Structure 1
């Protein structure tokens, strides 16, 4: 027995971690967007909403607050 000694528990965990990484990469390519993309979309939507609200016309009876 002149082979390399390995810890089977560590080998099992390393194999599981590699498989999880592969699955995560596939799911990210299939479904995901980066955090920066999501935040950019949220910021763009907020700017559009604020711009639209800034151009909203008020009714006369809403001006006096009553």
Structure 2
């Protein structure tokens, strides 16, 4: 006698496999690892820091004492 197969279980297992395959494809296409995200954040912070070090004039909005008020006489 043949083994009985639960068709609902078979259908759900197939749907799970297809969903997992789609998730793996999306992860490979769009995902980045934790180390890649951390490295990108470090690069952005370093470039921002280096850019700020090369400023010629201080930002008047960052320090109210550095900016002059044109209304004062």
TM-score w.r.t. structure 2 length?
A: 0.57
Q: Which runs of 4+ in 1 moved over 3 A?
A: none
Query: Counterpart of 2:31?
Result: 32
Q: Which runs of 5+ in 2 are unaligned?
A: 68-73
Q: Any residues of structure 2 matched to 1:47-62 within 5 Å, and which?
A: 47-59=46-58, 62=60
Q: Which runs of 5+ in 1 are unaligned?
A: none
**Higher CA-based Rg:** 2
More helix by share: 1
Greater relative contact order (CA < 8 Å, ≥ 6 in sequence): 2
Give the aligned length.
63
Taking only aligned residues, the RMSD between alpha carbons, in angstroms, comes to 2.6
TM-score w.r.t. structure 1 length?
A: 0.60
